[in-house]
Amino acid sequence: MAICFHSPSKPTCISPSSNHYRPNLHARSFRCNFSKTLTADPQPVFTSVKSFAPATVANLGPGFDFLGAAVDGIGDFVSLRVDPDVRPGEISIVDIDGVGNSAKKLSKNPLWNCAGIAAISVMKMLGVRSVGLSLSLEKGLPLGSGLGSSAASAAAAAVAVNEIFGRKLGVDDLVLAGLDSEAKVSGYHADNVAPALMGGFVLIRSYDPLELIPLTFPSDKELFFVLVNPEFEAPTKKMRAALPSEIGMSDHVWNCSQAAALVASILQGDLRGLGKALSSDRIVEPRRAPLIPGMEGVKKAALEAGAFGCTISGAGPTAVAITDDEEKGREIGERMVEAFLEEGKLKAVAMVKQLDRVGARLMSSNLR
């Protein structure tokens, strides 16, 4: 669901005053202070900032298309600085670096880059006209992994722009900026970008108006995601085509009740219940799993190794399992890697990461 758009075009500066990249913005009713701040032209508080936004696991089984969670310790960094060489009111992407081939695949044209689109969107909300910015993106996430790569870039950029001008916008506005980016690169879905910005679990209740429900997992409980990423490019078109257009009533009721149980388990801190709900999708996962070689065996291996639940992260190919213990998480990850190799003939890498409860954040700043 969150794959960055690739464009071969050369680096370009884009002014946020151009409006064509925010279609229908005014047609929606938002809870942001966009209209209030549009004409402000704020001055930067910092000469430079560095921000981070975490990876995210969207869908979560029966939470398809409306639920996501942030993952601690893996994500993207954005460095942003006031740059007199960039025309006032514009932004330039000067550098992209990071894991795998992400740097090569991503465009430096801000209009075609997740971070660029979100940054422009925030500049527009703030009404920035007299300052130019340059942005460097450091990818900690591989593209097309199902871990919210585009959302992490967008969230980190949105936070960086907001912070450099003194944090004038609320998180809802930043989600809207992130949505502009997601809409361009992977579809109008907030289930990655909302948790990337807000941390924890986030339920997308509606888009018109945008309504987000943060779901607090109890702070005294541990939750670890076992993320196993195989060397495989999920066939995005096939993944989408695999979704049924019609769903039988009994499957609908089942998935609804499991989505409800998923939310109850999160709020009640019931990891067993959460895992069971995560594993219970009868609509999307059964159709998508066969498109990822070995996925069914990987899920089986995870559950046999003691994971509370396992499903596909986002649209895949990463498999996500959950547990309450880091060491156990590593064992589960090993079994899952083995299963990907044995049953899918795919090399895979496992990570064990905690729930990120914070979301995108400022990492450092330099005062003017």
Binding region for its own copies (CB under 8 A) out of 48-56, 63-71, 145-153, 345-353:
63-71
* Two tokens, residue 39: 């004409």
Hey, which residues between 313 and 342 contact its own copies (CB under 8 A)? none
In the complex, least distance from residue 227 CB atom to its own copies, rounded to whole angstroms? 23
> Measured from the CB of residue 313, what is the shortest distance to its own copies in angstroms?
18
Specify the stretch interacting with its own copies by CB under 8 A; choose among 84-92, 222-230, 266-274, 291-299.
266-274
Residue 303 in the binding site for its own copies (CB under 8 A): no
User: In angstroms, rounded to a whole number, what is the distance separating the alpha carbons of residues 79 and 95?
Assistant: 10
Identify which range of 78-86, 138-146, 226-234, 246-254 contacts its own copies by CB under 8 A.
246-254
Size of the site for its own copies (CB under 8 A): 35
Spatial distance between the Cα atoms of 97 and 357, rounded to a whole number of angstroms:
26
Provide CB contacts within 8 A for 268, sequence distance 6+: 218
Give the separation between CA 113 and CA 135, rounded to whole angstroms: 11
Q: Determine if 260 is a binding residue for its own copies (CB under 8 A).
A: yes
Site map (CB under 8 A) of its own copies, residues 188-207, x = contact: ---------------xxxx-
Asked whether position 209 contacts its own copies by CB under 8 A, the answer is no
Helical (H) or strand (E) element with 144? none
Work out whether 252 is an interface residue with its own copies (CB under 8 A).
yes
Contact 33, 170 (CB under 8 A): yes
Q: State the minimum distance, in angstroms, from the CB of residue 215 to its own copies.
A: 6
Q: Write the DSSP string, 81-139.
A: EE-TTSPTT-EEEEEEEESTTHHHHS-SSGGGSHHHHHHHHHHHHHT--S--EEEEEEE
Question: Which stretches of the chain bind its own copies, using CB under 8 A?
Answer: 62-67, 203-206, 213, 215, 243-249, 252-253, 255-264, 267-268, 273, 283
